[in-house]
Amino acid sequence: MALTHDSENLPSVAALFAEMGIALPPVTGETLVTTSPVDGAQLARLSQHSTADGQAAIARAETAFRAWRAVPAPRRGQLVRIYGDLLRAHKEPLARIISLECGKILTEARGEVQEVIDICEFATGLSRQLHGLVIATERPGHKLLESWHPMGVFGQITAFNFPAAVWAWGTMVALVCGNAAIWKPSEKTPLTALACTLLFEKAAAEFGDAPDHLVQTLIGGAELGVLLAEDVRVPVLSATGSTRMGRDVAVRVAGRFGRAILELGGNNAAIVTPSADLDLATRGIVFSAAGTAGQRCTTLRRLIVHESLRETLVARLKAAFASLTIGSPLDEASHVGPLIDGQAYDAMQAALASARAEGGKVSGGERVEVPGAGHYVRPALVEMPAQTDIVREETFAPILYVLSYRDFDEAIALQNGVPQGLSSAIFTRDVREAELFQSATGSDCGIANVNIGTSGAEIGGAFGGEKATGGGRAAGSDTWKNYMRRATNTINYSNELPLAQGVKFDIG
Instruction: Determine contact, residues 96/15, Cβ cutoff 8 Å.
Output: no
177: annotated active-site residue: no
**Ramachandran region, residue 476 (left: φ > 0; alpha: ψ -120 to 50; beta: rest):** left
Q: Where are the alpha helices (DSSP H) in 256-387?
A: 278-290, 310-323, 342-357
Q: Which is nearer to ligand UN1, 115 or 444 (CB)?
A: 115
Which of 296, 293, 268 shows the shortest CA–CA distance to 160? Answer: 296
Query: What ranges in 291-444 are assigned the alpha helix state H?
Result: 310-323, 342-357, 408-416, 431-438
Q: Which residue among 120, 177, 196, 297 is the active-site one?
A: 297
| Residue 104 or 306 with smaller CB distance to ligand UN1 | 104
Q: What's the closest the beta carbon of residue 272 comes to ligand UN1, in angstroms?
A: 20
Name the residue type at position 467. K
Cβ 296 to ligand UN1 shortest distance, Å: 4
> 296 or 378, CB closer to ligand UN1?
296
Residue least distant from ligand UN1 (Cβ)? 457
Cβ proximity to ligand UN1: between 68 and 162 the closer is 162
Is residue 403 exposed (0-12), middle (13-18) or buried (19+ Cβ within 10 Å)?
buried
From the CB of 175, what's the least distance to ligand UN1, in Å? Answer: 20
CB of 162 to ligand UN1, least distance (A): 5
Phi, psi of 399 (to 5 degrees): -125, 125
Residue of 101, 108, 115, 263 marked catalytic: 263
User: In terms of CB distance, is 278 or 462 closer to ligand UN1?
Assistant: 462
Q: How far is the CB of 158 from ligand UN1 (least distance, A)?
A: 8
The question of whether 263 is a catalytic residue gets the answer: yes
CB distance 259 to 235 below 8 Å:
yes
Burial class of residue 248 in the structure, from the number of CB atoms within 10 Å of its CB (0-12 exposed, 13-18 middle, 19+ buried): middle
CB of 143 within 8 A of CB of 170?
A: no
Q: How far apart are CA 102 and CA 460, in angstroms?
A: 25
Residues that bind ligand UN1 (CB under 6 A): 115, 161-162, 166, 240, 296-298, 455-457
Tell me how far apart the 2 most distant CA atoms of the chain are, in Å: 90
Q: Count other C-beta atoms under 10 Å from residue 112's C-beta.
A: 25
In the complex, least distance from residue 292 CB atom to ligand UN1, rounded to whole angstroms: 8
Q: Which residues are catalytic?
A: 263, 297
